[in-house]
């Protein structure tokens, strides 16, 4: 059987997605998010960047927070980020987004009942 559907470049796909009426955008973005989270982590950083360069920021933000389970040969299962950290840095820099601080977001740790 042959392939069905249209063939788009990634740039064309993102333009098409953004041109859809809002309810259709949301439905398609959810579908693409599900597909990309299973496919994208196993691609090279170059491919990840090509795919996500013009993607909507909300989709990138969703993928940034996700981790994917995978089988590690000989040692069971592990988790990896859906987008490689270096690709996240490149995408954020190209969009003028400052990197998140790696410091703990919890304040006042170590203080409390023990310090009287």
More confident residue, 100 or 8: 8
- The secondary structure of residue 67, as a DSSP letter, is E
Contact 51, 36 (CB under 8 A): yes
Q: What separation in angstroms does the CA of 69 have from each of 11, 43, 50, 75, 82?
A: 28, 15, 23, 13, 10
The pLDDT tens digits for 7-62 are 889 999 899 988 999 889 889 888 999 999 999 999 999 999 999 999 988 899 99
Half-sphere exposure of 101 (CA within 13 A, CB side): 4
Residue 21 and residue 40: Cα distance in Å, rounded? 26
Q: Which residues contact 36 (CB under 8 A, 6 or more apart)?
A: 51, 59, 63, 82
Question: Cα torsion for 83, 48, 55, 21, to the nearest 10°?
Answer: -90
- Residue 5: pLDDT band (50, 70, 90) is low
């Amino acid at each position: 059987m042959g392939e069905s559907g249209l063939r788009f470049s990634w740039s064309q796909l993102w333009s098409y997605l953004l041109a859809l009426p809002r309810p259709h955008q949301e439905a398609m973005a959810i579908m693409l998010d599900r597909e990309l989270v299973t496919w994208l982590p196993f691609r090279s950083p170059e491919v990840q960047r090509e795919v996500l360069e013009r993607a909507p920021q909300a989709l990138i933000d969703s993928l940034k927070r996700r981790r994917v389970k995978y089988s590690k040969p000989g040692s069971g299962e592990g988790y990896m980020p859906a987008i490689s950290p270096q690709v996240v840095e490149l995408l954020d820099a190209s969009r003028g987004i400052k990197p998140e601080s790696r410091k703990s977001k919890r304040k006042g740790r170590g203080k409390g009942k023990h310090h009287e």
